[in-house]
Amino acid sequence: MIKKSTILLFALYFTYSPSLAADVERYIRFEVDGKKAYGQVIEQTVHQLNGGLFDTRQKTGQTYPLAKVKLLPPVVPSKVIAVGLNYRSHSGMSGGAKPELFAKLPSSIIATGEPIVIPKGSTSTHYEGELVVVIGKKAKKISPQQAPDVIFGVTAGNDVSERSWQSSDLQWLRAKASDSFAPLGPMIVRGLNYNDLQVTTRLNGDIRQSESSKFLIHDIPAIISHISQHITLFPGDVIYTGTPGSTRAMQHGDIVEVEIEGIGILRNPVVEE
C-alpha cells in the first residue's frame, strides 16, 4: 500500500506546465475509499469518470484533490510489448530494418510509489527509463500513417531488466517480466508531441539517462505498424519504446525516477526480496 507521505510527495514531483497546449488532456487510474476509477486531471483536481478511458469519458461530477487519491497503474493492459536497442546511444548500433520486440507481462506492472523488488538470485537488476505508448483502438495490419489514429496517449515506464539472466537464459521472460519489473505512470497524457519528448532517468537524484524521443531509431508509428502486422493491439495495451544511454544496477534503498516532459515523474523505491 502506498503511504500518504508517498502520495503527497507525488504532488511535489508532478511536473505541470501552464505552457502546455490547451488540448492536452491528463488521465489517471486511482483509488479512494476502497473504490477504483479513472479520472481526468485538471490542474490539481481529479474529475472521476464513468466507465473506462476508451468510452465516451463522461465526468460523474465527483472530484478529489490529486494529492488525496492513491495512484494506480494508469491502465490495465492485455499485453505489454517492448522494443529493444532503439536508441543509438544505448545500442551503439545504427538500427536494424525492423524494431526488435520482446514481451513483458501485465503482472509485472506496478504504480508510481510502489517498490521495485530485486529478486533472489539477481546479481544485476538495471533500470531503463522509457516513453510508453498507450493504445486506444484495436489495430491489426495498419500502416505507419494510420498508427497515430490508434494512439490514446503516452506515459512513463521503467523496463526493469536483470542483465545476468538476459545473458544466461535462453529467453528473456524472467529477465524482463518478473514481478514489479514494469513500473508505469503516473498518468497518461493526450495531445503531446510524442515524437520529441525528453526522457530523463534519475537514480537517487542523479541524472543517469537523458535524451529526446526524437532520437528513437524506429519511431512510434513504425513500431506500432510493425507490431500490428503480427499481433493485434487492443485498447489499453502498452508499448515500451526503448531506453537511451547507459544503465546500471540498482541496490536496496535506491530511488529511481523516470521523468518525461509533459507527463510527470514515475518514482519507485528499490528493495531486495
The domain boundary residue, chosen from 19, 54, 72: 72
Are 101 and 39 in the same domain?
no
Are 26 and 85 in the same domain?
no
Tell me which H or E stretch contains 84.
Answer: strand 80-84
Are 130 and 262 in the same domain?
yes
- pTM for the predicted model, two decimal places: 0.93
Are 133 and 240 in the same domain?
yes
Dihedral pair phi/psi, residue 202, rounded to 5° = -120, 140
Domain of residue 132 covers 80-272
Are 125 and 48 in the same domain?
no
Domain CATH code at residue 57: 2.30.30.370
Are 122 and 67 in the same domain?
no
Q: Provide the 3-class DSSP secondary structure of residue 10.
A: helix
Are 84 and 61 in the same domain?
no
Domain count, the chain: 2
The domain boundary residue, chosen from 44, 72, 100: 72
Burial group, residue 106, by CB count within 10 angstroms (0-12, 13-18, 19+): middle
Measure the CA–CA gap between 186 and 264, rounded to whole angstroms: 7
The domain boundary residue, chosen from 72, 92, 126: 72
Are 37 and 149 in the same domain?
no
Are 189 and 247 in the same domain?
yes
pLDDT in tens, the chain (273 residues): 334 434 444 444 455 443 345 689 999 999 999 999 999 999 999 999 999 999 889 999 999 999 999 999 999 999 999 999 999 998 666 567 899 999 999 999 999 999 999 999 999 999 999 999 999 999 999 999 999 999 999 999 999 999 999 999 999 999 999 999 999 999 999 999 999 999 999 999 999 999 999 999 999 999 999 999 999 999 999 999 999 999 999 999 999 999 999 999 999 999 999
Are 26 and 143 in the same domain?
no
